[in-house]
Amino acid sequence: MNSLNIKLLIGILISIALISTGVVYWKIAQDEIFYLCGNFSAGVKKSSVVRQLETANLSDYTITNSENGSNIVFKSRLYFVTNQCIIEIDKSDNVVVAAYQ
C-alpha cells in the first residue's frame, strides 16, 4: 500500500468512528428524554419532576409559569435530537399530563 491509500484508510476509519459516536449520543439523548418522561404521570409532584430532570446528562429543561400552573419542556442539549417531553403542572404543583413528542 502506498501512503495515499494509508491516509485514505485512516480518514475513513476516523469518519466511521465519529459517525458511530454521534449515533450513540443521539440514541442515549433520545432514550433519556423518553424514559424520564414516562415517570411523570398525573399527580406526581413538581418537586419530584424537577429532581428527576436534574439527573439528566444530555438534556435540559425550562419552566414557564402561568396563571394555571406551569409547563416544563424537557429536551436534549444536542441540536440533532428533536424529541422533547412537555409536562403540564397545575396550580397545586401536581402533574396533569406529560407528553413525549
Total-model pTM: 0.80
- Helix or strand (DSSP H, E) at 4: helix 3-37
Which one, of 37, 45, 48, lies nearest residue 95 by Cα? 45
Cell readout for 7 is 491516509
pLDDT band at 37 (very low <50, low <70, confident <90, very high): very high
pLDDT in tens, 6-32: 889 999 999 999 988 888 888 888 899
Inter-residue contact 45 to 94 (CB < 8 Å): yes
* Mean pLDDT (the chain, rounded): 91
